[in-house]
Structure 1
């Protein structure tokens, strides 16, 4: 706008000077003025073009600045996402490593130990009363880990851990019916029933014991006690490792 104003003022000033200095005829003056007016109009049109171009340049510059700002913002966002992805990748790698370690430890540190036996492996057995009160269970349903000895009736812990034991006893009313779970010579839990008029008695019990490797667990009769078993498996003894410690 300043350029256009300055241009017009300059042309008007030249026109005034020429009018003052030149003494021409009316026709020459009109032609001269017409030419000047046309020249002024051309300059005005050029000035308008310049202003329009300047406006376009300013608009383009504004859009360019906005684009630069948007690119800068997006770049910052991408960097932020890259950092978050890197953190997620690190946590994922750590989780995968923990899973692999758990798989390896579960395969190496959890031995499979379990047994289940009953007193009679054929016919019928009445055990007791007797001096040697250890119950030797001969019928073996399972003995994974070979912790149970069918010759002695003793389970020996292959590894240290928590073990679950359960047993059942059955007998008739002529004697005390029941048995005692013994760990390293010490009574733990038992079943017991006095002689009665009901003909027969059966009961069961269970416990979780912490054993060190080499600890021994077995079953014994009560004094003057008796139990009965046949292939129906009335008098039984079972145990398994829950987890190592």
Structure 2
């Protein structure tokens, strides 16, 4: 009887120990799986940190380039402000009252009512704009007249025709036209307006017939 009890207790002890060992093995497996996940997380964090460091470096490089660009823009603004001459004018044909100009032997139009003349390139005595510096210049003009004569004018450069407005005799009461051009000039070049042969234009205080120009940039 005692032997059987002892054997039973021994078997129970083995079963208990075996259960503990299995539990320990299961815990060890869980720990190893946890370590694997932890290692994977650490690797992912390291990869993310490397990406963050790369983006930070790129951002620093971009900021340096941006600062350099802003400095260059500031220099260009200073150069534009300091070095580029300010040249512009605008005028209409008559100061006061009304005027019919043409037909005449002297076909040069002299625009007497000067709205602006920065740089003093335009002469209201001769109607001629003289380029103060080499550069590209923008010119525009408008003409107005009645159907009794050819209406329009020609923009001239050093005696050569460039662009024009033109309207022949017609049944309508009056005509108005305009045109514009960009010309490359050297210092001393002369730009002015001429009437067509037998042409006539009209102007009054409403400034129908005008002549304007300004420097775009030096070359």
TM-score bracket for the superposition, by shorter chain length: 0.7 to 0.9
Q: 1:71, 1:60 → 2: CA distance?
A: 16
Question: Map of 1:1-245 to 2, 5 A cutoff?
Answer: 30-32=1-3, 34-35=5-6, 37-87=8-58, 90-91=61-62, 93-94=64-65, 97-98=68-69, 101-102=72-73, 105=76, 108-109=79-80, 113-157=87-131, 158=133, 160-161=135-136, 163-171=138-146, 173=148, 175-193=149-167, 196=169, 201-214=174-187, 215-241=189-215
Structure 1 unaligned residues grouped into runs of 5+: 1-29
SS for the counterpart of 1:150 is: coil
Q: 2:166, 2:91 → 1: CA distance?
A: 20
Normalising by structure 1, what TM-score? 0.68
Kindly report the root-mean-square deviation, in angstroms, between the aligned alpha carbons of the 2 structures. 3.4
Per-residue deviation, residues 39-64 of structure 1 (Å, max 9, x unmatched):
45334423321331122022111111
SS for the counterpart of 1:233 is: coil
Report the CA distance between 1:219 and its aligned residue. Answer: 0.6
Higher normalized contact order (CA 8 Å, seq sep 6+, divided by chain length): 2
Q: Which runs of 4+ in 1 moved over 6 A?
A: none
Higher alpha-carbon Rg: 1
Report the CA distance between 1:131 and its aligned residue. Answer: 4.1
Per-residue deviation, residues 133-155 of structure 1 (Å, max 9, x unmatched):
32111112233454433233222
Cα contact 1:117–1:141 (8 A) shared by 2: yes
| C-alpha spacing 1:199/1:59, structure 2 compared with 1 (3 Å) | closer
Structure 2 unaligned residues grouped into runs of 5+: none
The structure that is helix-richer by fraction is 1
Cα contact 2:96–2:205 (8 A) shared by 1: yes
| C-alpha spacing 1:62/1:192, structure 2 compared with 1 (3 Å) | closer
What number of residue pairs does the alignment pair up? 214
Q: 2:206, 2:41 → 1: CA distance?
A: 83
Per-residue deviation, residues 139-192 of structure 1 (Å, max 9, x unmatched):
12233454433233222344512524222142562x544321101221112234
